[in-house]
Amino acid sequence: MTVPPITDMAPMKLVIVGHVDHGKSTLIGRMLHDTGSLPDGKMEAVKAMSDRRGMPMEWAFVLDALQAERDQGITIDTTQIFFKTPARPYVIIDAPGHKEFLKNMVSGAASADAAILVVDAKEGVQEQTRRHGYILHLLGLDQVVVAVNKMDLVDHSQARFDEVAGEVHKYLGSMGITPAAILPVSARHGDGLAVKSTNMPWFEGETLIASLDTLPPKPMPVELPLRFPVQDVYKFDERRILAGRIESGKLNVGDTLLFSPSNARAKVQSIEAWSVDGPVLSASAGQSIGITLDDQLFVERGNVASHASEPPVQTNVFRARIFWLGRAPLEVGRRYKLKLATLEHPVEVQAIERVIDVSDLSERPADRIERNEVGEVVLRARAMLSVDEFTDNPRLGRFVLIDGYDMAGGGLVSMDGFHDLRRANAPTSQNITAVETRITTDARWAANGHKSGVLWLTGLSGAGKSTLALELEQALFRKGWQVYVLDGDNIRFGLSADLGFAPEDREENIRRVGEVAALFARAGILVITAFISPYRSDRDRARAVAPDLFHEVYVNAGLAVCEERDPKGLYKKARRGEIAEFTGISAPYEAPEAPEVEVETGSLSLAQSVEQLLGYVEANFATKGS
């Protein structure tokens, strides 16, 4: 195979960062000129622009194509500029140094292969030098060449260069970045860019261009485990094609894929493509493909296919390092839309653990993260999300948060302190496959004359869950509905007879109830469960078993009312310390934040409460004529 001419190669993506006025635009303008990459006439145009403004040759004008920019004298937005050296083509992403423009820097730097950090020899490391350095680190961009610029203004002093180089080395090193090179340049005069500087004979390293040419491009993550997030499902013709891009790893025709979060499995029957020679038998990271399966599983956008042996993490809660771009600050308790690969799901900020001051890497506690700040948070979702640790697999370990209509921040996933919940929900045995029932849920609903689902009653002991559940069951049964109550007694006597009341036993008990309730619901029955189920994560997991059928009902009477009622005398015992970890007294109750229904049994009579729930059931489960 012949080597393609360098003009035809993929350009190396460079981002240029650094403090405002440290000379980024000048460096770029001069680099374009010195590599012979300026289109004909451009240099004359820049000269004319400079003359018109009564300035000496201003290299930064090469970039300043917009009228508005020239008026402000600063570069506004991320620009892409192409240039080439004898070794390869480059594309420069010019990231502005102005503080408000972090979003543009991120927009540029996130896709870069390498960065040039420009530092003024006179001023040394400044606030934005540190900030930009930190963002590079955060984005996982670890190939950095440092250009110590404006050496002409410090008399080409080796001592000053060594001082600034030491300062930069120390800061980048504290984040684990080892610069590929630190070199002295005078961009305005082209000193040290394409040719070695005669003004700095003491410097033995390479020129800026030569050190760029030695950097390897960012490799495609072909060797990581397969991650194929489904982007869309197409039925343009007789084929049902799952379309998407392979984010990491490889897949072959015949491979068995595991889909998350459903845990369903199917084989790749074909890799579809238009206008290619011969059948496609394999595909790897970076390719946008389409596949058909040997089994018509329910698959939708946001599901992630992997190989069964190396699946992504499943969790509804995780830690994240966030950089915030939003106009309104990120705050505890607020909800945002998370977008991770093709997955979109609402998440809530459960906690802000710390805000990091990127100018000295110090940390402080905070209850909000302001625009342009970086912090660590815990995010919680209502359903199981398929993610990876950022350090294991960046492609599924990074996400953005949407506030209203705007992309307000980016984040990196850390599972530090949280479990992968996949095992709890996935079959241990590999030799089982889902049986496709011949009777659809729709058919069962049609036969019963109503829809089925899970009404998950949660609330404090004494709030009236069981009473309400039994009344509702009776009322619906009289109307001819298929309805059944699951409560502590009938579950604890049999299915969960092996479990005690330790926290992990309670968690397992609720997991079993969630599974059983989902089976009943799929069988066409309206299930009413009556469990305190105090933890959000347990209820979220129960919801995740059958998300489309799950309805959370918050039976809310308030602690004071429940304690006064105390039908079983349990509160008294708990107050006396005779019952350990009693919900509401010595163990927390995490109230639902957005239940489908809330019944205020503290102020409503039983009849009114039943009436309210009956109304909800009629509105959501009745089919025509029922």
Partner 1 sequence: MNHLDSLEAQSVYILREAFNKFDRLGMLWSLGKDSNVMLWLAKKAFFGHVPFPAMFCDTGKKFPEMYAFQKEYAEKWGLNFIRRDCPPIEEIDPTLPPAARSAARKTEALKRLIAELDLQAVIAGIRRDEEATRAKERVFSPRGENAEWDFRDQPPEFWDQFKTDFAPGTHIRVHPLLHWTELDIWLYIQREGIPLVPLYFSRDGKRYRSLGDMDITNPVNSDADTVEKIIAELRATKVAERSGRAMDHEAEDAFERLRSAGYM
Q: Known binding site for ATP: residues?
A: 459-466
Total chain residues near partner 1 (CB under 8 A): 60
Stretch that binds partner 1, among 61-69, 250-258, 372-380, 492-500 (CB under 8 A): 61-69
- Which H or E run includes 539? helix 536-545
Q: Considering the rule CB under 8 A, would residue 241 count as an interface residue with partner 1? A: yes
Question: Smallest gap, in angstroms, from Cβ of residue 109 to partner 1?
Answer: 8
Q: Considering the rule CB under 8 A, would residue 71 count as an interface residue with partner 1? A: no
Q: Considering the rule CB under 8 A, would residue 579 count as an interface residue with partner 1? A: no
How far apart, in Å, are the Cα atoms of 188 and each of 23, 29, 58, 59, 235? Answer: 8, 9, 8, 7, 58
Q: Binding partner 1 by CB under 8 A: which of 68, 159, 497, 607? A: 68
**Which residues make up each annotated binding site?**
459-466
Q: Binding partner 1 by CB under 8 A: which of 170, 239, 419, 572? A: 239
Cβ proximity of 401 and 337 under 8 Å:
yes
Angle ∠(406,412,417) on CA atoms, nearest 5: 130
Residues 110-149 vs partner 1: string with x where CB under 8 A? xx--------------------------------------
Rounded to the nearest 10 degrees, how much is the dihedral formed by the CA atoms of 264, 266, 268, 273? -60
Measured from the CB atom, the residue of 309 and 391 that comes closer to partner 1 is 391
Q: Considering the rule CB under 8 A, would residue 107 count as an interface residue with partner 1? A: yes
Residue in this structure with the two tokens 């956008």, named with its chain if needed: 301
DSSP, residue by residue, 469-538: HHHHHHHHHHTT--EEEEEHHHHHTTTTTT--SSHHHHHHHHHHHHHHHHHHHHTT-EEEEE-----HHH
Q: Considering the rule CB under 8 A, would residue 607 count as an interface residue with partner 1? A: no
Measured from the CB atom, the residue of 272 and 596 that comes closer to partner 1 is 272
Stretch that binds partner 1, among 147-155, 232-240, 259-267, 305-313 (CB under 8 A): 232-240
Q: Binding partner 1 by CB under 8 A: which of 12, 116, 325, 415? A: 325
Q: Binding partner 1 by CB under 8 A: which of 220, 328, 591, 604? A: 220
Q: Within a 13 Å sphere around the CA of 193, how many CA atoms are in the beta-carbon half?
A: 23
Q: What 3 state SS string does 110-162 have? A: CCCCEEEEEEECCCCCCHHHHHHHHHHHHCCCCCEEEEEECHHHHCCCHHHHH
Measured from the CB atom, the residue of 36 and 588 that comes closer to partner 1 is 36
Tokens of 39: 């289109």
Cβ proximity of 330 and 352 under 8 Å:
yes
Q: In which region does residue 275 sit, left (phi positive, over 0), alpha (psi from -120 to 50) or beta (all else)?
A: left
Burial of residue 539, with CB atoms counted within 10 A of its CB: 0-12 exposed, 13-18 middle, 19 or more buried: buried
Question: Smallest gap, in angstroms, from Cβ of residue 235 to partner 1?
Answer: 11
Q: Considering the rule CB under 8 A, would residue 405 count as an interface residue with partner 1? A: yes
Tokens of 327: 């106009």
CA distance 166 to 148: 11
Catalytic hit among 533, 537, 586, 626: 533
- Known catalytic residue at 211: no
Q: Which amino acid is at 578?
A: E
Stretch that binds partner 1, among 108-116, 149-157, 355-363, 593-601 (CB under 8 A): 108-116
Measured from the CB atom, the residue of 40 and 416 that comes closer to partner 1 is 40
169 SS3 class: helix
Q: Considering the rule CB under 8 A, would residue 53 count as an interface residue with partner 1? A: no
Measured from the CB atom, the residue of 111 and 603 that comes closer to partner 1 is 111
Q: Binding partner 1 by CB under 8 A: which of 269, 282, 284, 359? A: 284
Measured from the CB atom, the residue of 104 and 452 that comes closer to partner 1 is 104
**What is the greatest pairwise CA distance in the chain?**
97
Measured from the CB atom, the residue of 220 and 253 that comes closer to partner 1 is 220
Q: Binding partner 1 by CB under 8 A: which of 201, 205, 216, 404? A: 404
Q: Considering the rule CB under 8 A, would residue 2 count as an interface residue with partner 1? A: no
Cα 590 versus chain centre, distance: 25
Tokens of 293: 């399966």
Q: Considering the rule CB under 8 A, would residue 337 count as an interface residue with partner 1? A: yes
Stretch that binds partner 1, among 75-83, 167-175, 360-368, 423-431 (CB under 8 A): 75-83
CA distance 461 to 457: 12
Measured from the CB atom, the residue of 61 and 520 that comes closer to partner 1 is 61
CA distance 540 to 5: 56
Q: Binding partner 1 by CB under 8 A: which of 44, 55, 80, 434? A: 80
Active site residues: 533
The residues that touch partner 1, with contacts defined as CB under 8 A, are 4-5, 7-10, 38-40, 65-68, 76-82, 103-104, 106-107, 109-111, 220, 231-232, 234, 236-237, 239, 241, 243-245, 272-275, 284, 286-288, 290, 301, 325, 337, 339, 398-400, 402, 404-407, 410
